Copies of this chain bind each other. A is one copy, B any other.
Amino acid sequence: MATIKEVARKAGVSVGTVSNVLRGSTTVSQTIRERVDRVIQSLDYHPNHAARSLKTSQTHLLGMVISDITNPFFPQLVRGAEDAAIQKNYLLIASNTDDQLEREKRALAVLRARRVDGIFLVVAPNGGDTEHLKKLLASQIPVVCLDRVPEGLAVDSVTTDGVQGSEMCVRHLLSMGHRKIGVIVGNLQLQTARDRLRGYENALKEQKIAIDPGLIFAGDFRRESGYLLTKQLLLGNRKPTAVFVCNGMMALGALRAIQELDLRCPEDIAVAVFDEVPANGSFRPEITCVVQPAYQMGYQGVELLLSRMSKGAGKKPVQIVLPSELRIGDSTRRRPLRSGK
């Protein structure tokens, strides 16, 4: 592939001038600029990124560390980030951690070694082990946390308000006449999981309903755990009339569990979910859910990261909280008044 030297030679100018043309410097005359541009076209010349990076110490690469691209929430996030990044001439490198701390550490180390210009991070549960995150934040490289924020660290973030979203959702269940509402929540080491649980509790308290710990089941945001916990919940002695599931993947497990127990939704058990449910709208019943603006989260994450990159590390962290939306389906229809059994 052609180099800047060849371009310079063919255009009869110095490499410095070619570089100036490339960078759009104003100190190049129209004549020369056109001449150089023509040569660039004719040679199909593309500047070597490595050389440029070496000199400028910018890679125009952004890293994105997520838990699992296979969970439908993340493709949207990634897509939003990618669309925004590409517009600004950045490329995105995504890595999956499966919510394992070790893999998070490794992924971050790799991205750092590559000198990416910035990192998006969806933190894994860490049980208080945040050393590597502190180091990361101390290391110059701009970081924006998406979806989840790690405890007690000052870092830019874009998230949705899990407390408010859950409140909205559980209030809806209450308004439909439900009083015994089970909840399948994620790993409580995660802020997001705790927020969603808090929203549930808040909504109940508003109605002076006591919180029954026997109705609360904590899993890990994966399909399998939704399945197992929902079975436990429904086979237990609490007999809830509704279940609030805290993410889409667990909802799939929950729905399967309900089916296997030969219960009908919503007649026997109502279901409401925080997070979009895959394939929702293509099967019965349509599930009531809180939809998060995942695409936007990714998109705005890029804007935040870039502004941080230009503003420098000095300023206070910016925390953007996006609203979510309650989408009411048939899975939470009004409960017949004849209560009891």
Mark A residues whose CB is within 8 Å of B: 1, 46-51, 53-54, 57, 59, 68-70, 72, 74-76, 78-79, 82-83, 86, 91-96, 110, 112-115, 251-253, 255-256, 259, 277-284
Copies of this chain, count: 2
A selection of 18 A-B contacts at a CB cut-off of 8 Å is A49-B115, A50-B50, A68-B79, A69-B75, A69-B78, A72-B75, A78-B94, A82-B94, A91-B93, A251-B282, A252-B279, A252-B281, A252-B282, A253-B282, A255-B279, A255-B283, A259-B284, A279-B282
CA distance in complex: A95, B78 (Å): 10
Q: Check A48–B284 contact: CB distance below 8 A.
A: no
Q: Check B70–A76 contact: CB distance below 8 A.
A: yes
* A284 to chain B: closest residue by CB: B259
Q: Check B93–A110 contact: CB distance below 8 A.
A: no
* A106 to chain B: closest residue by CB: B86
Q: Which residues of B lie under 8 Å from residue A115 when comparing CB positions?
A: 1, 48-50
Q: Which residues of B lie under 8 Å from residue A281 when comparing CB positions?
A: 252, 256
CA distance in complex: A72, B46 (Å): 34
Q: Check A91–B69 contact: CB distance below 8 A.
A: no
CA distance in complex: A44, B46 (Å): 34
Q: Which residues of B lie under 8 Å from residue A256 when comparing CB positions?
A: 281-282
Give the Cβ gap from A278 to chain B, nearest Cβ, in Å: 4
CA distance in complex: A76, B283 (Å): 23
Q: Check A94–B92 contact: CB distance below 8 A.
A: yes
* A61 to chain B: closest residue by CB: B93
CA distance in complex: A27, B291 (Å): 60
Q: Check A75–B70 contact: CB distance below 8 A.
A: yes
Q: Check A46–B283 contact: CB distance below 8 A.
A: no
Q: Check B282–A284 contact: CB distance below 8 A.
A: no
Among B59, B95, B251, B280, which residue has its beta carbon within 8 angstroms of that of A82?
B95
Give the Cβ gap from A23 to chain B, nearest Cβ, in Å: 16
Among B54, B72, B93, B282, which residue has its beta carbon within 8 angstroms of that of A54?
B54
Give the Cβ gap from A61 to chain B, nearest Cβ, in Å: 8
Give the Cβ gap from A185 to chain B, nearest Cβ, in Å: 19
Give the Cβ gap from A99 to chain B, nearest Cβ, in Å: 14
* A60 to chain B: closest residue by CB: B114
CA distance in complex: A74, B69 (Å): 9
Among B78, B95, B113, which residue has its beta carbon within 8 angstroms of that of A46?
B113
* A277 to chain B: closest residue by CB: B279
Name the residue in A47, A57, A59, A282 with the highest tally of chain B Cβ atoms < 10 Å from its Cβ: A282
Among B50, B94, B114, B284, which residue has its beta carbon within 8 angstroms of that of A94?
B94
In the complex with contacts A79-B69, A110-B91, A282-B255, A54-B46 CB distance below 8 A: no
* A85 to chain B: closest residue by CB: B95
Give the Cβ gap from A93 to chain B, nearest Cβ, in Å: 5
Q: Which residues of B lie under 8 Å from residue A46 when comparing CB positions?
A: 112-113
CA distance in complex: A1, B138 (Å): 12
CA distance in complex: A71, B53 (Å): 34
Q: Which residues of B lie under 8 Å from residue A70 when comparing CB positions?
A: 75-76, 79
* A50 to chain B: closest residue by CB: B53
Q: Check A96–B69 contact: CB distance below 8 A.
A: no
Give the Cβ gap from A114 to chain B, nearest Cβ, in Å: 5
